[in-house]
Structure formats: structure tokens, C-alpha cells
């Protein structure tokens, strides 16, 4: 979700001593489920929300920082159904919808003046994993100013002292006015300053019309992204990618990257999610 300075991929390659020609051919092959063991699966038959009263709940409805901290000049406030009495989350036949809408009158006094409300879900409290395969099957929302994302952050009990930003893997980001394009990015502090390495993927199909499977495979050596099981991009793993990571799913509105909604944007707008999975590699497979 960070949108900072984008530098060219060859800079990361030189820092890591990596050459694109050394990318293992096996990494470019389609994903083979037989080589993986499911370590986490959320089919969204129901939504288990974490709270202090329910510490076994899977999903937290805010980032590790405070709910009131708005990033990227976004225009939404992420609400919690238990705290605010209004839910941005719904489940229908095993499909979770994270829905952004115009701020209801009843919430205008508690959402920091934000014109929209939406939702974020993270497994920060109850699931994280170091290395493996992480994926979501989702249908993206269409519309100017909508910004859906599935991403990974390292897990901490609290924000680490002296750290301004965390390393991050963006498995999928989409701007709703570009329904044929999605973005994958690495963010690293390896050199002492935040550096971002983006890959843009333009498809023939409209990603807002159907469900697609967005995956990343993270190993000590490399990060590889896949769409519907097919390899799309690769990067060496930065040196500061050393901690287990947790899932984040959110639907942002507005901000410095997508821009504001306009008269063509239809609300409510939903980011629809079929399932989320994590896998560990099966050591019996060579790839």
C-alpha cells in the first residue's frame, strides 16, 4: 500500500548481486499444488473478528498503527462493526465483500471528517508465516478513486522503535479506473531508505468482471508473483525480509495514487473475496 519513490528494478538487482538471467526456470513454471501444503485457509463461511473480548478471532479491522492514522491522503475511514455499529463486511454464499460507501450521517462525527467508510482486515494478531506461498482469489471493484489491495507486512507485537516504515510485499493492488491492470511491488529499507520496486501487469481481460487468483511465493532467495497460477514477475529477496508476515486486505478510497472518486464512481463499491490461503513448500518437491 505504500506509494513512495519508485526506482528502477536494475538498482535492486545490482544491490542484491542478482541477474535476471539467473532466475531459476522452475520459478517461471505454473504453480503446482502438489508441491505445497496448506498452512492457513480462510473460506469465509463466516467472519471471525479479533477483539480484546475475542482474542481468538482471526481478523483485525485496523492496521498495527491507530485507526485514526490516515495514510497516502486516502479519503476513507476503516470502521469496525463492533465499535461503530456499521459493518463494511458482508458474506454471501462464501464470498466476503469489503464495501466502501459514503459516510453515513450517524458516523460523521467519529470518522475524522473522512467522506467515505470502508474496511481493512489483517491477520496480525493470529496468523503469520515466514516464507511460502500466499494468495487470494478475488474480484476487484471498478471505479475512479477505488484502490483494492492484498499485501503482506512483517508481524510485531507493536510498532518497532526507530522504524519509520516496514518492508512490504504487495501481492495485488488495483486502481478501479484501470480494470485491466494490476500492480505488484516490493518495498524495502535495505539501503537505509525506503525503496520501491514495482511491476505493472496489463491483461487482456477485465479484472473487475471475474474472480482471479493472485499469488506470491516468497523464499530466502526470491519473490515471485503469479496470476491464476501463471508466473508474472520475479525479484531477489531484500536483506530486510527476515520476519514472518501477515495478510492484509483492504479497499481504500481516494489518495495520492488513485485520485479522488468522481461523478462516474458508483457507491457502494465492493472488493469481493472468495478465499485466502497460505502454503508451505513440500520438501519432497525439487521446485
Task: Point out the least confidently predicted range of 154-163, 261-270, 277-286.
Answer: 154-163
Q: Where are the domains of the chain?
A: 37-281
Q: What angle do CA 125, 173, 186 make, to 5 degrees?
A: 75
The span from the CA of 204 to the CA of 191, in Å, is 37
Quickly tell me which residue has 496448506 as its cell.
Answer: 38
Minimum mean pLDDT among 68-72, 79-83, 97-101, 267-271: which range?
A: 68-72
From the candidates 124, 168, 190, 193, give the one annotated as an active-site residue: 168
The predicted pLDDT at position 264 comes to 98
The answer to whether the beta carbons of residues 20 and 14 sit under 8 Å apart is no
Q: Would you say 276 and 45 are in contact if contact means Cβ atoms under 8 Å apart? A: no
Architecture per CATH, domain 37-281, reads as Sandwich (2.60)
Paired strand residues for 202: 181
Q: Which stretch of 3-12, 79-88, 103-112 has the lowest confidence by average pLDDT?
A: 3-12
Give the dihedral sign, CA 135/139/143/146.
negative
Query: pLDDT tens digits for 176-210?
Result: 999 999 999 999 988 888 899 999 999 999 999 99
Q: Would you state the pLDDT for residue 4?
A: 39
User: Cα 284 from chain centroid?
Assistant: 30
In tens, the pLDDT along 5-21 reads: 333 333 333 333 333 33
Which grid cell is 187?
Answer: 518495498
The verdict on whether 168 is a catalytic residue reads: yes
- Per residue in 208-224, pLDDT tens? 999 999 999 999 999 99
Summarize the confidence of residues 31-60 as an average pLDDT.
96
* Residue in 266, 277, 252 with CA at minimum distance from that of residue 74: 252
Q: Pull the grid cell for residue 105.
A: 450521517
Tell me the three cell numbers of residue 285.
518437491
The answer to pTM > 0.85 is yes
Cα dihedral 251, 254, 259, 265 in deg (nearest 10): 80
- Is residue 22 very low, low, confident or very high in pLDDT (cuts 50, 70, 90)? very low
Q: What is the pLDDT of residue 6?
A: 35
Q: What are phi and psi of 28, to 5 degrees?
A: -85, -5
Query: Over the chain, what is the mean pLDDT?
Result: 90
Encode pLDDT of 226-250 as tens digits: 999 999 999 999 999 999 999 999 9
Q: Which of 41, 68, 173, 190 is catalytic?
A: 173
Amino acid at each position: 500500500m505504500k506509494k513512495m519513490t519508485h526506482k528502477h528494478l536494475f538498482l535492486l538487482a545490482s544491490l542484491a548481486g542478482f541477474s535476471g538471467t539467473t532466475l531459476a526456470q522452475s520459478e517461471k513454471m505454473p504453480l503446482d499444488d502438489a508441491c505445497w501444503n496448506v498452512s492457513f485457509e480462510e473460506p469465509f463461511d463466516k467472519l471471525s473478528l479479533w477483539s480484546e473480548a475475542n482474542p481468538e478471532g482471526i481478523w483485525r479491522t485496523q492496521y498495527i498503527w491507530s485507526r485514526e492514522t490516515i495514510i497516502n491522503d486516502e479519503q476513507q475511514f476503516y470502521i469496525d462493526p463492533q465499535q461503530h455499529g456499521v459493518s463494511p463486511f458482508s458474506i454471501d454464499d462464501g464470498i466476503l465483500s469489503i464495501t466502501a460507501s459514503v459516510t453515513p450521517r450517524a458516523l460523521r462525527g467519529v470518522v475524522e471528517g473522512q467522506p467515505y467508510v470502508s474496511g481493512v482486515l489483517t491477520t496480525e494478531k493470529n496468523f503469520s508465516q515466514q516464507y511460502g506461498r500466499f494468495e487470494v482469489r478475488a474480484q476487484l471493484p471498478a471505479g475512479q478513486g477505488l484502490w483494492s489491495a492484498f499485501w503482506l507486512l512483517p508481524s510485531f507485537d507493536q510498532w518497532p522503535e526507530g522504524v519509520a516504515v516496514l518492508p512490504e510485499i504487495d501481492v495485488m493492488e488495483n486502481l478501479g479506473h484501470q480494470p485491466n491492470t494490476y500492480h505488484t511491488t516490493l518495498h524495502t529499507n535495505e539501503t537505509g531508505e525506503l525503496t520501491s520496486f514495482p511491476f505493472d501487469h496489463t491483461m487482456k481481460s477485465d479484472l473487475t468482471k471475474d474472480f482471479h487468483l493472485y499469488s506470491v511465493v516468497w523464499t530466502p532467495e526470491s519473490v515471485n508473483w503469479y496470476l491464476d497460477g501463471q508466473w508474472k514477475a520475479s525479484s531477489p529477496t531484500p536483506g530486510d525480509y527476515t520476519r514472518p508476515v501477515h495478510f492484509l486486505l483492504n479497499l481504500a478510497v481516494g489518495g495520492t495514487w488513485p485520485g479522488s472518486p468522481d461523478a462516474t464512481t458508483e457507491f457502494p463499491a465492493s472488493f469481493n473475496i472468495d478465499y485466502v490461503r497460505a502454503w508451505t513448500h513440500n520438501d519432497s518437491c525439487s521446485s
